[in-house]
Chains A and B, each alone.
Chain A
């Protein structure tokens, strides 16, 4: 339990660190920070609204530390300001809407690619030196070294434009109303397939390589040899004696990989014009909508920390040595 409590405290510190970056960044840039942050607002914002926004970001007539505390207070009360482009939509609301799509896309792609990647990596390790190993390793190197932006563009080109199998944008047919109907859900699946497949390709190789290396390092362990000596089926030994143990270090690599997942999904969403966080962010960058750009760092950090915590929890479940008797 104390292990998890320590992790939680650490995550809180990391979140504050992200907020601190947000706070100082406009202030260390040359020029007037207020001018910079809200330049794109033009004359659309009334003075009253602008003052409210300034307060949220801690631009008050007070010493720096009071400004900092004011900003932290805003962050922890869930006030990330309003979007300038989509005024008066609050940043939290804008991001929350987008987050649903991103989490769905990312979560499913991560689970699928982690499952397939570890299984393929385990298979390659078990049959190492064979042709199967070569094929898996080579594909894995390819998938893990080619940028997400390249894979998504090529996928879009082949399946979206050349073959025309899948639509090239949006999360669902914009003519349909969101509803729990077969038609709408079918449309969501059709629109989600290409981005999902892209993310899958981006991620699966890294997991496979990590798993393969971890498992090869374990193959000489006595408990695996004993598993074979016990006359168990090959599948049982491979999965429950070798892969099951190699999964532990692979799983902690997953925590770090979540950053890659986030980055990959940002890019994929932009290419496929998918209405997730990545796309909202892209629009915000084009419009220099700083409250949204800053808000996404906090949301992304939050998402990363939650995923890390889930990994921590699952790790405790996976490794009996961490469970208390």
Chain B
């Protein structure tokens, strides 16, 4: 774990990603300090372009876009991290149990995992959300958490299968350690980077999917979130009336959040698998060749 953190601090991609993510988090927490407006109040004339008063302009109904954006970040982050945590928790537990226990338990878990993997996710969520009616961010987070764990099970199980063969597991078994202890304290710590990748990947997925469901009109139009902003802007034909700020602001916010998380994920992958690493020694190598201090 410590190794992972110190590795991340030395990885340029991770640092850039973390800085962007941190800025979004700070803006979300400090929203009342950053804006004098309320995100749901009519504070100006409709579709005003960006100005000193309204940094990112106003919406069709005269709400402040910037204020909506920073308050909406709270929703995106909460849904993303909440659903991401749930997805990772379920996926990791099932994956470790299936991989370690083997036998019938493994077959059952594996069968259901493969089943969930071939039922297309977004269409399934659309049906679920359509029956629920107008889904609040909390409901969206919960159904995401309950339906999207399959990928995590697959990778965790595969990794557990290879760890199970290692000597330290064998010796723990000989010593008569209970299997829950082996799974929690011997196997899990060795999966930390896979779990990390799964977690960040799930957060990205949850953020994207929440916005998509809301954009498609399945969210609760009274919430303040980036997806609802997109939905309202699209319904107000923001692009065809030239109010690009109304639509592009949440677009750029979503892109930045997705990008920052993806950079962190890519970095974890590089740290977990040294072969993927490109910085450090390869940079030094190239410099030495340039300087004529050696060749291949």
Contact = CB atoms under 8 A, between A and B. Distances in A.
Interface of A: 10-11, 13-14, 17-18, 21-22, 25-26, 29, 36, 128-129, 133-134, 137, 141-142, 144-150, 153-154, 156-157, 160-161, 168, 209, 213, 216-217, 219-220, 256, 258-259, 262-263, 266-267, 270-271, 281-282, 285-286, 288, 290, 293-294, 296-297, 300-301, 303-305, 308
A254 B14 CA distance: 27
Nearest to B218: A285
Q: Which 5 A-B pairs have the closest CB atoms?
A: A263-B122, A145-B262, A129-B282, A145-B258, A300-B123
Given A147-B208, A147-B211, A213-B269, A133 B278 contact: yes
B117 interface: yes
B182 interface: no
Contacts of B259: 141-142, 145-146
Nearest to A154: B251
Identify whether the interface residues of A are mostly helix, strand, loop, or mixed: helix
A293 B130 contact: yes
Nearest to B282: A129
B15 to A, nearest CB: 15
Given A25-B128, A297-B124, A145 B204 contact: yes
Contacts of B286: 129
Nearest to B129: A285
A149 B211 contact: yes
A297 B127 contact: yes
A286 B130 CA distance: 9
A26 B230 CA distance: 29
B105 interface: no
Interface of B: prevailing SS: helix
A161 B122 contact: no
Given A168-B240, A259-B121, 17 more contacts: A25-B131, A145-B258, A146-B259, A147-B207, A147-B255, A148-B208, A153-B239, A153-B251, A259-B120, A262-B122, A266-B123, A271-B234, A282-B216, A290-B130, A296-B123, A297-B126, A303-B120
A214 to B, nearest CB: 11
Given A137-B266, A146-B255, A154-B251, A129 B278 contact: yes
A166 to B, nearest CB: 14
Contacts of A161: 239-240
A315 to B, nearest CB: 15
A150 B251 contact: yes
B134 to A, nearest CB: 11
B119 A14 contact: yes
B118 A134 contact: no
Contacts of B247: 153, 157
Given A150-B251, A161-B240, A281-B126, A26 B121 contact: no
A21 B115 CA distance: 12
Q: Which of B118, B211, B278 has the most CB of A within 10 A?
A: B118
Nearest to B122: A263
A149 B204 contact: no
B119 A304 contact: yes
Contact of B120 (A154, A168, A270, A300): A300
Given A259-B120, A267-B215, A270-B216, A146 B127 contact: no
Contact of A263 (B121, B240, B248): B121
Contacts of B255: 145-147, 150
29 contacts: A10-B115, A17-B115, A18-B124, A22-B127, A25-B128, A128-B278, A129-B286, A134-B278, A141-B262, A141-B263, A148-B208, A150-B211, A150-B254, A153-B248, A213-B276, A216-B275, A217-B273, A259-B117, A259-B122, A263-B120, A270-B215, A285-B130, A285-B217, A290-B130, A293-B126, A293-B127, A294-B127, A300-B120, A300-B123
Given A297-B127, A301-B123, A267 B212 contact: yes
B174 to A, nearest CB: 33
B14 to A, nearest CB: 12
B179 interface: no
A147 B151 contact: no
Given A36-B131, A142-B259, A145-B258, A17 B123 contact: no
Interface string B181-207: 000000000000000000000001001
A267 B216 contact: yes
B37 interface: no
B120 A285 contact: no
Interface string B117-151: 11111111011101110000000000000000001
A14 B118 contact: yes
Given A144-B262, A297-B124, A217 B215 contact: no
B212 A149 contact: yes
Contacts of B118: 11, 14, 301, 304-305, 308
Given A25-B128, A262-B120, A297-B124, A157 B239 contact: yes
Interface in B261-296: 261-263, 266, 269, 273, 275-276, 278, 282-283, 285-286
B114 interface: yes
B29 to A, nearest CB: 23
Contacts of B282: 128-129
Contacts of A133: 278
